[in-house]
Amino acid sequence: MRRAFCLLALWGVLCVAGEACAAPPQLTSAAGILIDAASGRVLFAKSAYVRRAPASTTKLLTALVAERAGGLQRTVRVSRQAASVVGSSAHLSAGEVYTLRELLEGMLLRSGNDAAWAIAEHVGGGDVGLFMRQANEQAIRLGARQTHFVNPHGLTASHHYTSARDLSLIARTALREPEIRRIVASQELTLTPVGRGGRTIRNTNQLLSGYLGADGAKTGTTNAAGKCLVASATRGGVQLIAVVLKGGDRYGDATRLLDWGFARVTEGPNLAAGTAFGRLADGRVPRLAHQLAAPVVEDVPVRLSLRLDPHPARGGGVVGAALLLAGEDLVDASPLMAGPLATPFWVRLLHPLLQAPVDRPSLHSL
């Protein structure tokens, strides 16, 4: 995309008027954050950038790496080392065979450290160290730069840390993956090793049965990390993600954060991929490359700014950008795409006898 853009239009100023919302909640947790899942906008933060032990919330990143590796129907034989990992367990036995999908279920619902190790061995081709390098690279790509993990399950270890902010980034991305989202929203599932009977496992996340709209994501507890929780809930088209670390009352803290967020956030603009915006001077139609969505937070207006390249290439591709702004803050953006210029009919008819001159199209206001 060329650097030179011109502002074409401002569209759709949306506001929510009303009484001021209550003061931000007081947390028992040492650190916490609340974000809007659609835009990633931070709504509340307390010591959110301080490095802390994450306990089993680590498993959200393990799940993300495994989901993106694919092959969830492939079978995995549980190694003796995986079956012997201490701490919370999915009660896997050495030699049992599960699909990778079932191991994800055992890890995310029952918080099985044994399942997490089996996943890392499988995805890493037998090398857990390689898997952890992949996980840390994934974290960096997400912008989680306060994160470094040395194991796939979250048991306390030197140089194994993250922050509330980084966990919100990891959770936001992980919850976009269909299988992860399905699993963490389930209150119970059945694990069935090949050739054996199944057994029911239940989710460790108590918010699923006690909070309206709760749909994930992961608990975690160790002596070093304290009681941790990554919690997602959706109401009225708005999905919020709360993270609390080292809390005396993690469910109470998450509930207070989510309640406070839902009281001040409403669904804002939601434009589908492919949405068209008028026509360029050459007749082409610029369209959104992907969905644009943003919450409306209290009385902060959300507006759409369309910026187009004044000299778009005739071959098609990116011709500008659509920006959703809350006040002066960018909350979401999408490239604007347009197809190649059509060749006039009379040129196609007479070619190659005639060669029509090609003028670079000029822009006009949408």
Q: Could you read off the pLDDT tens digit of each residue along the chain, which spans 366 residues?
A: 333 333 333 333 333 333 334 678 899 999 999 999 988 889 999 999 999 999 999 999 999 999 999 999 999 999 999 999 999 999 999 999 999 999 999 999 999 999 999 999 999 999 999 999 999 999 999 999 999 999 999 999 999 999 999 999 999 999 999 999 999 999 999 999 988 888 999 999 999 999 999 999 999 999 999 999 999 999 988 899 999 999 889 999 999 999 999 998 887 788 899 999 888 888 889 999 988 887 788 767 788 889 888 888 778 888 899 998 887 778 888 999 988 876 555 544 555 444 433 333 333 322
Those residues with Cβ within 8 angstroms of residue 180's Cβ, 6 or more apart along the chain or in another chain:
60, 63, 64, 67, 104, 108, 174
Catalytic annotation present for 246 = no
The angle that helices 113-123 and 59-69 make with each other, rounded to 10 degrees, is 40
The neighbour count for residue 199, using CB atoms within 10 Å, is: 11
Catalytic annotation present for 111 = yes
Catalytic residue selected from 111, 163, 168, 334: 111
Catalytic residue selected from 39, 56, 168, 186: 56
Catalytic annotation present for 362 = no
The residue extents of the domains of the chain are 6-15+270-350, 31-248
Catalytic residue selected from 46, 59, 218, 246: 59
Q: State residue 15's pLDDT score.
A: 32
pTM (two decimals): 0.78
Report how far apart, in Å, the C-alpha atoms of 134 and of each of 12, 68, 76, 148 are: 42, 11, 19, 11
What whole-number distance in Å separates Cα of residue 208 and Cα of residue 186?
Answer: 8
Q: Which fold has domain 31-248?
A: Beta-lactamase (3.40.710)
